[in-house]
């Protein structure tokens, strides 16, 4: 009996190895499946694909119930603080994100012109906070301050949380919903032109800018800095907070970016990005996939990748030119584009 057992062990071991390889292969195949991958089609079919993909992603992120009940969730804004910055007024405001959760946001209002003004949702990255996007001595290059001094209303929520606050939600879904609630708040302001709302962010903020522009069609122009990439690139040497269970079976990042079309989209990637992070070659590969849907909409000039000589930073000059073209703020003679 003992001899028989010894002869069978290699067979069982081999079977176990085969099963493990099959399981790994099945997982890899499911990733490659990318069931909702965008491919060239008519404009009518492209719109249908966008609607279907948004619906499926909304369900995956578990925010479809919030979207449906948006009007039943009052914002109830409360001013926490206010600081006069000469060119603009900065306020910290608390609003309701859901029926049971309140969030704080930074909001700025121009002081040297009359509204209604365009607005930009400004999104920070990992380890950041709402004030980070206003800091000039940082990778953000103070892009929110640059916008605030040029007659844009800006609003900045927290997007760096790494815990799920409400049971049954997803991390990306909660981050996205908070950003969407910023737009809900902007729409209540007489001083804001609701048809001229954009969003911009760096790194994880660039990721959330992608999500916000993709899932909320009220966003008129999207700038995603330091993020244009593909999911394979993000599987190693990155925080996995981006990976919603089931996301890879449906889409890759270029597909999510495709949901922004035909609205204007600018991505920024730096030449000094390490190969393991957000290198330009991967960004260019992703851009080619995104360009397809813009061509289908006959709007090829509305999508652009700006390659700058630095690392993971916001390129201020191209950002300001982009929003000036797309959101058309009232110009200040003293606030030139450097």
Query: What sign does the dihedral 276-281-284-286 (CA atoms) show?
Result: negative
Same domain, 171 and 199: yes
335 inside domain: no
Same domain, 23 and 166: no
Taking a C-beta distance cutoff of 8 angstroms, is the pair 320, 223 a contact?
no
In the chain, how many domains are there? 2
Same domain, 81 and 218: yes
CA distance 292 to 271: 24
294 inside domain: yes
Nearest Cα to Cα of residue 125 among 55, 204, 193, 63 = 204
In sequence order, the 6+-apart residues with CB closer than 8 A to the CB of 293 are 38, 46, 258, 261, 262
CA distance 21 to 25: 6
In sequence order, the 6+-apart residues with CB closer than 8 A to the CB of 294 are 261, 262, 300, 302, 303
**How do residues 229-272 score in pLDDT, each as one tens digit?**
999 999 999 999 999 999 999 999 999 999 999 999 999 999 99
Please state whether the peptide bond connecting residue 116 to the residue before it is cis, i.e. omega within 30 degrees of 0: yes
145 inside domain: yes
91 inside domain: yes
201 inside domain: yes
CA distance 278 to 75: 36
Same domain, 151 and 288: yes
The CATH number of residue 211's host domain is 3.40.50.1820
**How do residues 279-319 score in pLDDT, each as one tens digit?**
999 999 999 999 999 999 999 999 999 999 999 999 999 99
pLDDT at 10 exceeding the cut of 90:
no
Please report the pLDDT score of residue 32 as a whole number.
64
Same domain, 201 and 133: yes
Same domain, 44 and 15: no
Same domain, 137 and 168: yes
Instruction: Return the minimum-mean-pLDDT range out of 23-37, 41-55, 275-289.
Output: 23-37
- Grade residue 31 by pLDDT with cuts at 50, 70 and 90: low
333 inside domain: no
Same domain, 243 and 218: yes
Phi, psi angle pair for 192, to nearest 5°: -110, 135
Please report the pLDDT score of residue 330 as a whole number.
80
Q: Mean of the pLDDT values across residues 207-220?
A: 98
Strands 221-225 vs 192-202: parallel, antiparallel or unpaired = parallel
334 inside domain: no
Same domain, 200 and 313: yes
By percentage, how much of the chain surpasses pLDDT 90?
85
Same domain, 203 and 108: yes
Same domain, 172 and 256: yes
Please state whether the peptide bond connecting residue 262 to the residue before it is cis, i.e. omega within 30 degrees of 0: yes
338 inside domain: no
In sequence order, the 6+-apart residues with CB closer than 8 A to the CB of 9 are none
Reduced to 3 states (helix: H, G, I; strand: E, B; else coil), residue 127 is: coil
* Domain encompassing residue 25: 1-33
- Output the average pLDDT for the chain: 91
Taking a C-beta distance cutoff of 8 angstroms, is the pair 128, 304 a contact?
no
Please report the pLDDT score of residue 332 as a whole number.
67
Same domain, 195 and 254: yes
In sequence order, the 6+-apart residues with CB closer than 8 A to the CB of 190 are 115, 116
Please report the pLDDT score of residue 21 as a whole number.
44
pLDDT at 193 exceeding the cut of 90:
yes
Q: Mean of the pLDDT values across residues 71-98?
A: 97
By percentage, how much of the chain surpasses pLDDT 70?
88
Q: Mean of the pLDDT values across residues 114-125?
A: 96
Please report the pLDDT score of residue 278 as a whole number.
94
Please report the pLDDT score of residue 220 as a whole number.
98
């Amino acid at each position: 009996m003992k001899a028989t057992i010894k002869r069978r062990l290699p067979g069982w071991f081999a079977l176990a190895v085969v099963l493990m390889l099959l399981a790994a292969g099945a997982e890899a195949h499911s990733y490659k499946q990318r069931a909702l991958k965008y491919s060239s089609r008519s404009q009518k079919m492209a719109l249908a694909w966008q609607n279907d993909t948004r619906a499926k992603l909304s369900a995956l992120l578990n925010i479809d119930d919030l979207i449906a009940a948006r009007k039943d969730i009052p914002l109830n804004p409360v001013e926490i603080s206010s600081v006069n910055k000469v060119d603009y007024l900065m306020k910290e405001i608390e609003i309701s994100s859901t029926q049971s959760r309140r969030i704080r946001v930074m909001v700025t209002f121009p002081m040297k012109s009359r509204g209604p003004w365009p607005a930009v949702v400004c999104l920070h990255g990992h380890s950041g906070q709402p004030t980070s996007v206003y800091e000039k001595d940082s990778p953000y290059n103070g892009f929110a301050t640059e916008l605030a001094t040029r007659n844009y209303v800006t609003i900045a929520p927290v997007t760096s949380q790494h815990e799920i606050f409400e049971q049954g939600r997803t991390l990306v879904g909660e981050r996205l919903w908070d950003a969407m609630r910023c737009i809900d708040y902007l729409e209540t302001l007489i001083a804001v032109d609701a048809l001229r709302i954009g969003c911009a962010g760096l790194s994880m903020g660039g990721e959330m800018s992608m999500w916000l522009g993709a899932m909320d069609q009220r966003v008129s122009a999207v700038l995603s800095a330091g993020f244009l990439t593909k999911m394979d690139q993000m599987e190693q040497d990155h925080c996995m907070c981006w990976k919603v269970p089931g996301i890879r079976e449906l889409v890759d990042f270029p597909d999510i970016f495709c949901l922004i079309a035909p609205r204007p989209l600018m991505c920024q990637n730096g030449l000094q990005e390490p190969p393991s992070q957000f290198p330009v070659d991967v960004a260019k590969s992703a851009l080619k996939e995104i360009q397809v849907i813009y061509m289908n909409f006959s709007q090829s000039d509305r999508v652009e990748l700006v390659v700058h000589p630095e690392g993971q930073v916001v390129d201020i000059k191209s950002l300001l030119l982009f929003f000036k073209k797309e959101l058309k703020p009232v110009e200040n003679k003293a606030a030139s584009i450097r």
